[in-house]
Structure 1
Amino acid sequence: MAAAPVRAQLPQLGDTGDMGTSAERKLGERIARELYRDPDYIDDPILVEYVQRLWQPLLDAARGRGELTAELDERFAWQVLLGKDRSVNAFALPGGWLGLHSGLIAVTTTRDELASVLAHELSHVTQRHISRMVTQQNQQAPWMVAAMILGAMAASKNPQMGGAIVAGSQGLGAQQALNFSRDMEREADRIGFGVMTAAGFEPQGFVSMFEKLQQAARLNDSGAYPYLRTHPMTTERAADMQARQQLAARAPVQPTLEHAMVAARARVISNAGVDALRGMVAEAESAGLASQPRPRQAGALYAGALSAARLRDAATTRQLLSRLDTAAAGDAEGQRLARLLAAEIAQAQQDWPRVLQLVDPASDRRPEVLLATQAWTHTGRSRDAAQRLQTWVAAQPRDAAAWQLLAAAYGEQGQALRGVRAEAEARVAQLDYRAAMDRFRAAQDMARKATDRSDYIEASIIDTRARQVESLLREQSLER
Structure 2
Amino acid sequence: MGKKTRLALASQALVASLLIALGAASPLPAHAQGGLPTLGDGSDLTSSEERRLGDRIIRELYRDPDYIDDPVIGEYVQGIWQPLMAAARARGELSPELDERFAWEVLLGRDRTVNAFALPGGYLGLHLGLIGVVGTRDELASVMAHELSHVTQRHISRLLTQQSRQTPLLLGAMVLGALAASKNPGATQALVVGGQALALQNQLNFSRDMEREADRVGMGLMEPAGFAPEGFVGMFDKLQQANRINDNGSWPYLRSHPLTTQRIADMQSRLPSGGLTASSPSVLQAEHAMVTARARVLSRPGVDVLRQWVAEPQGTGFAALPPARKAGVLYAAALGSSQLRDAAGARRWAGQLQQLVKNDAAATRLAKLLRAELELAADDAPAALAAMPPGDLRRPEMLLRTQIVLRTGQSKEVTGPLQTWLATHPRDASAWQAMAAVWNAQGQPLRAVRAEAEVHAARYDYAAAVDRFKAGQDLARRSTSADDHFEASIIDTRLRAVQSLLREQAAER
Residue 192 (1) aligns with residue 218 (2): yes
After superposition, the CA RMSD in angstroms is 2.6
What is the Cα deviation at residue 384 of structure 1? 2.2
Q: 1:458-477 to 2 correspondence within 5 Å?
A: 458-477=487-506
> Is the Cα–Cα contact under 8 Å of residues 27 and 146 in structure 1 kept in the other structure?
no
Q: How many pairs are equivalent?
A: 473
Q: Output the CA distance in 1 between the equivalents of 2:104 and 2:453.
A: 23
Partner residue in 1 for 2:317? 288
What is the Cα deviation at residue 367 of structure 1? 0.7
Q: Output the CA distance in 2 between the equivalents of 1:392 and 1:307.
A: 31
Partner residue in 1 for 2:188? 165
Instruction: Name stretches of at least 5 consecutive residues in structure 2 with no aligned partner.
Output: 1-29
Partner residue in 2 for 1:451? 480
Residue 342 (1) aligns with residue 371 (2): yes
Gap change, CA 1:253 and 1:154, over 3 Å in 2: farther
Partner residue in 2 for 1:17? 43
User: What are the Cα deviations for residues 402-452 of structure 1, in whole angstroms up to 9, with x where unaligned?
Assistant: 111111111111111000000000111111111111100100111122233
Paired residue secondary structure (1:72): helix
Paired amino acid for 1:148: M
Partner residue in 1 for 2:328? 299
> Is the Cα–Cα contact under 8 Å of residues 372 and 388 in structure 2 kept in the other structure?
yes
Paired amino acid for 1:312: R
Q: 1:146-185 to 2 correspondence within 5 Å?
A: 147-148=173-174, 151=177, 161=185, 164-165=187-188, 167=190, 171-173=194-196, 181-185=207-211
User: What are the Cα deviations for residues 273-309 of structure 1, in whole angstroms up to 9, with x where unaligned?
Assistant: 1011011112122132011111111101110111111
Gap change, CA 1:219 and 1:50, over 3 Å in 2: same
> Is the Cα–Cα contact under 8 Å of residues 139 and 281 in structure 2 kept in the other structure?
no
Partner residue in 2 for 1:131? 157
Paired residue secondary structure (2:501): helix
> Is the Cα–Cα contact under 8 Å of residues 149 and 174 in structure 1 kept in the other structure?
no
Q: Output the CA distance in 1 between the equivalents of 2:110 and 2:473.
A: 37
Paired amino acid for 1:173: Q
Q: Output the CA distance in 1 between the equivalents of 2:176 and 2:331.
A: 34
Q: 1:54-65 to 2 correspondence within 5 Å?
A: 54-65=80-91
Paired amino acid for 2:188: I
Partner residue in 2 for 1:431? 460
Paired residue secondary structure (1:28): helix
Instruction: Name stretches of at least 5 consecutive residues in structure 1 with no aligned partner.
Output: none
Paired amino acid for 2:321: Q
Paired residue secondary structure (2:435): helix
Paired residue secondary structure (1:172): helix
Q: Which deviates the most, 346-355 or 167-176?
A: 167-176
Q: 1:65-464 to 2 correspondence within 5 Å?
A: 65-139=91-165, 145=171, 147-148=173-174, 151=177, 161=185, 164-165=187-188, 167=190, 171-173=194-196, 181-245=207-271, 247=273, 249-250=275-276, 253-360=282-389, 362-464=391-493
Gap change, CA 1:11 and 1:329, over 3 Å in 2: same
Q: Which deviates the most, 37-46 or 229-238?
A: 229-238
What is the Cα deviation at residue 133 of structure 1? 2.2
Gap change, CA 1:221 and 1:175, over 3 Å in 2: farther
Paired residue secondary structure (1:92): strand
TM-score with structure 2 setting the length: 0.87
User: What are the Cα deviations for residues 209-263 of structure 1, in whole angstroms up to 9, with x where unaligned?
Assistant: 1111122223342211101111001233122123124647326530100001101
Paired residue secondary structure (1:198): coil
Paired residue secondary structure (2:264): helix
Q: Output the CA distance in 1 between the equivalents of 2:358 and 2:198.
A: 47
Paired residue secondary structure (2:125): strand
What is the Cα deviation at residue 142 of structure 1? 6.4
Q: Output the CA distance in 2 between the equivalents of 1:176 and 1:347.
A: 51
Paired residue secondary structure (1:95): coil
> Is the Cα–Cα contact under 8 Å of residues 27 and 142 in structure 1 kept in the other structure?
no
> Is the Cα–Cα contact under 8 Å of residues 129 and 295 in structure 2 kept in the other structure?
yes
> Is the Cα–Cα contact under 8 Å of residues 24 and 95 in structure 1 kept in the other structure?
yes
What is the Cα deviation at residue 69 of structure 1? 0.6
TM-score with structure 1 setting the length: 0.92
Paired amino acid for 1:298: A
What is the Cα deviation at residue 192 of structure 1? 0.2
Ranked by relative contact order (alpha carbons within 8 Å, sequence separation 6 or more), the top structure is 2
> Is the Cα–Cα contact under 8 Å of residues 105 and 114 in structure 1 kept in the other structure?
yes
